[in-house]
Amino acid sequence: MAELSPVTGRYVTIDVLGDQCKVFFLENGDPNSQPLVCQHTAGCHNHQWRYLLEDEEVTSDYRVIAYDLTNHGKSDPPANKAWWKEEYRLTAEWYTAFITSFCDALELRDPIFMGCSFGGNEALQLALHHPDRFGGIISVEGADYSPGFFLDWWQHPHANAAQVSASGVWDLMAPQSPDSDRAATWFYYTQGSEAFRGDLYFYSRDHDLRGRLGEIDTSNCPLVMLTGEYDYLTTPEDSKRTAEGIAGATFIEMEKIGHFPMSENYPVFKTYMQQALQKINEEHKAAVG
């Protein structure tokens, strides 16, 4: 008998600000359960959520959906434009439109959004611009501003871009995380160097919510921020500072883990993620009475 995973993969075609995007997503869980929509990190793909997607304890309560952002994994660049004639630079406006369009296409009701790294920053953009669209938001390794990583080294033609991208993020992971999962995360990073730099345009340049955190309304959309203590890019101090600027936001520091928690050490991440989901559940119930 073949050992088949309960995780299924499908494509959906969506419109994002006029771009025709055929999006690949993986999912597991009851279609009627509350969706938990997961965003991978910059230059990567949805396989970072592999353990969560197969975690029965979570999928028995949530419909876990992990997509590949356009230009990543199995989601091709937009089909209706000559994308190869322009430099790829992800903007906050496009990224936000992508996620709302994706959720609309799947007719998701009250989804919880969970994004990591540049997805954690995007989570804050969603909290600012579309709190009415989500049942809760989890920003993993996110901050109001995260400069310093929009670098040309990621695509330098005289170096091996795949290895530079992968080894450049190696020590964003904690030394306590298992070698096999750190190596797998490294491997995923060898696959996305062409998108990595453009993603980091959003991460380190276009995303800048300094001075705007007070506008985020968490009254009907609980916001929890999780950051690993070994993350040298978005440090726990960065996330804590950000959460303190948002009324009602919760910050939880994660010990002995780094910037790719769901991929580098899922059992450790899970304990914190469950705290976040519980917090969202409690606050959402309180908000709706």
Partner 1 sequence: MATPTVMADDWVENFTRVCNQDEELQAHGKHFDCSYMLQMGNHNYQVVMHRGRVEEILVDPGPLDQRYQFLLRASEDTWQEFGKTEPRPMAHGIWAATFREDMQMQGDLLVLMQNLRCFTRQMELLRVSGVPVQEDVSAPKQREPSQ
In the structure encoding, which two tokens stand for residue 22, read together? 């055929």
> What whole-number distance in Å separates Cα of residue 137 and Cα of residue 141?
13
Beta carbon of residue 14, minimum distance to partner 1 (angstroms, whole number): 36
Beta carbon of residue 232, minimum distance to partner 1 (angstroms, whole number): 4
- Ranges of beta strands (E only) in 164-219 are none
The helix/strand/coil state of 99 is: helix
Among 158, 180, 214, 288, binds partner 1 (CB under 8 A): 158
In the structure encoding, which two tokens stand for residue 215, read together? 């506008």
Contact 27, 7 (CB under 8 A): yes
Beta carbon of residue 88, minimum distance to partner 1 (angstroms, whole number): 20
By CB under 8 A, tell whether 232 contacts partner 1: yes
By CB under 8 A, tell whether 268 contacts partner 1: no
Among 138, 164, 226, 280, binds partner 1 (CB under 8 A): 164
| Residue 263 φ/ψ, nearest 5 degrees | -100, -35
Nearer to partner 1, 130 or 240 (CB): 240
Contact 76, 83 (CB under 8 A): no
By CB under 8 A, tell whether 35 contacts partner 1: no
Among 8, 109, 153, 210, binds partner 1 (CB under 8 A): 153
The helix/strand/coil state of 41 is: coil
By CB under 8 A, tell whether 187 contacts partner 1: no
Contact 99, 122 (CB under 8 A): yes
Number of residues that bind partner 1 (CB under 8 A): 24
Which residues of this protein are in contact with partner 1, per CB under 8 A? 148, 153, 156, 158-160, 163-164, 166-168, 170-172, 174-176, 179, 229-230, 232-233, 235, 256
